[in-house]
Amino acid sequence: MIMNGDKTQQENAILASTRRQFFERCGVGVGSMALASLFAQEQAGAKPVVTNPMAPRQPHYKPKAKSVIFMFMAGGPSQLDLFNDKPMLREHHGQLPPQSYLEGKRFAFLKGTETLLASPQKFGRYGECGQELSDLLPHHREIVDEVCWLHGMKTDVFNHGPAKIFVNTGSPQPGRPSMGSWVTYGLGSEASDLPGFVVLQSGPRGPRAGSSLWSSGFLPTTYQGVPFRSGPEPILNLTSPAGMTRERERRFVDMVSDLNRLRLDQVGDAEIATRIAAYEMAYEMQSSAPELMELSDEPQSTLDMYGATPGKPSYANNCLLARRLVERGVRFVQLYHTNWDHHGGPTENLEVHLPAICKEIDQASAALVRDLKQRGLLDDTIVIWGGEFGRTPMGEVRDNTGRDHHIDAYSMWAAGGGFKPGLIHGKTDELGLGSVEDGKHVHDLQATILHLLGFNHERLTYRFQGRDFRLTDVHGEILHDVIG
């Protein structure tokens, strides 16, 4: 929808970048402390003269949630070995699926001769909601009634790169902003000394499609995801060079600021004031980011709950970091964990590698939900768990058993932030090939997440190349049934 009548966020962003009113107010020699305070958290009565593109902003309507943690299971977890028990698969194991189930479906690797594959896992029903869980996820039993179970998810594309880009940006081609970018563009961030959109990675390698997944696309790069590496320098170039102590760096930043201010006085361009403030924030970040990463601050009981070990990079550490990030006001945290691409084969099969990766993520995923809840953070934090697609009921003919990519009926889960706890939403057919009840599309989930954050997904737009783009492209229906 074209919003020429309203002042859109985009116009605000443009105004922020021009900041013309600054000229009238900036005067001469704004002290560095005053500038530093421009970005200070919730400064009562402070009159900002510089519009910070990351300043917290109000969405379209009152939000239920204010931050998001997205646990991205990169590669496509098998819903049929984790969340959906299918007795019919056991019954018809080794048989070809009925043709009627396959019509209109496309697969990446299947040739049409693959037969149905029963899950070797034992399933049980847990919690009051009675969600099915395989024995691979014992810790998930503890959160089964905190979680909203989303079955019958659909996406559009069946290759990893495009599908990952699709979940993140609503389009299979790279080039559009990711969800975290849209959210920080819309809401800003409450973290004054950390980026608003942080990306963490665990597993043997990074996700396919790399930084396209947290790119800000055509939005200003202010809103791109900032990868935090494990170790003492989480952000690239965060550390001062050898020989520059904290005190020397302070002296340095003061010198840079003063010279910038002299120039500002001469030319009157508010962009210089923004840069002065950016140096202050960078200086703050140099201490706040390493402090954030210092997990040994946490009590042993918390570390045990997650299975985290300070100094030893892991998914569990990242889950704990995610909590620390939202605690500090970071808006959007994304955790990638590889590799869920279990096609069968010596390094990616359902016999060895699925159980192994489940062990890596089970405890910490559950712990994060529990920890957020016990700290009262779950109410306004959306937690999403899932991959770019699911896997087929048919096994693939490789050396060991595995399943192909399946885009028509997979599962994800969501917790907190307004998602109904203990709800099982959606049902797939008896073979798990298609959805029979409450099927839903990635765009619907995106619309719902934005809705909980206070946005009408059709109105959170950015004008680029003559068109108002949005996360949900021209699709997306809010899943009113799954939110309280």
Stretch that binds other proteins, among 123-131, 204-212, 302-310, 354-362 (CB under 8 A): 204-212
Contact indicator for 55, 274 with CB cutoff of 8 Å: no
Q: Say whether residue 23 binds other proteins (CB under 8 A).
A: yes
Distance CA 286, CA 263 (A): 26
Distance CA 292, CA 347 (A): 34
- Look at residues 436, 451, 439 and name the one whose alpha carbon lies nearest to residue 483: 451
Of the candidate residues 56, 206, 422, 439, the single one contacting other proteins (CB under 8 A): 206
Parallel/antiparallel/unpaired status of strands 67-73 and 381-386: parallel
Tell which phi-psi region holds residue 476, choosing left (phi > 0), alpha (psi between -120 and 50) or beta. left
- Number of chain residues interacting with other proteins (CB under 8 A): 89
To which residue do tokens 């693959």 refer? 114
Shortest distance (Å) from residue 457 CB to other proteins: 14
Binding to other proteins, residues 174-193 (CB under 8 A): 174-175
Binding to other proteins, residues 409-448 (CB under 8 A): none
- Look at residues 391, 454, 384 and name the one whose alpha carbon lies nearest to residue 419: 384
Question: Quick one: 39 or 306, whose CB is closer to other proteins?
Answer: 39
Stretch that binds other proteins, among 182-190, 209-217, 345-353, 363-371 (CB under 8 A): 209-217
Q: Say whether residue 12 binds other proteins (CB under 8 A).
A: no
Stretch that binds other proteins, among 300-308, 359-367, 408-416, 465-473 (CB under 8 A): 465-473
Of the candidate residues 18, 41, 58, 95, the single one contacting other proteins (CB under 8 A): 18
Shortest distance (Å) from residue 434 CB to other proteins: 18
Binding to other proteins, residues 268-327 (CB under 8 A): 268-269, 271-272, 274-276, 278-279, 281-282, 285-286
Q: Say whether residue 55 binds other proteins (CB under 8 A).
A: no
Q: Say whether residue 42 binds other proteins (CB under 8 A).
A: no
Binding to other proteins, residues 342-401 (CB under 8 A): none
Would you call 217 helix, strand, or coil by DSSP?
Answer: coil
Contact indicator for 152, 145 with CB cutoff of 8 Å: no
Q: Say whether residue 160 binds other proteins (CB under 8 A).
A: yes
Parallel/antiparallel/unpaired status of strands 197-202 and 332-337: parallel
Tokens of residue 257, six digits = 């600021």
Q: Say whether residue 88 binds other proteins (CB under 8 A).
A: no
Distance CA 159, CA 234 (A): 30
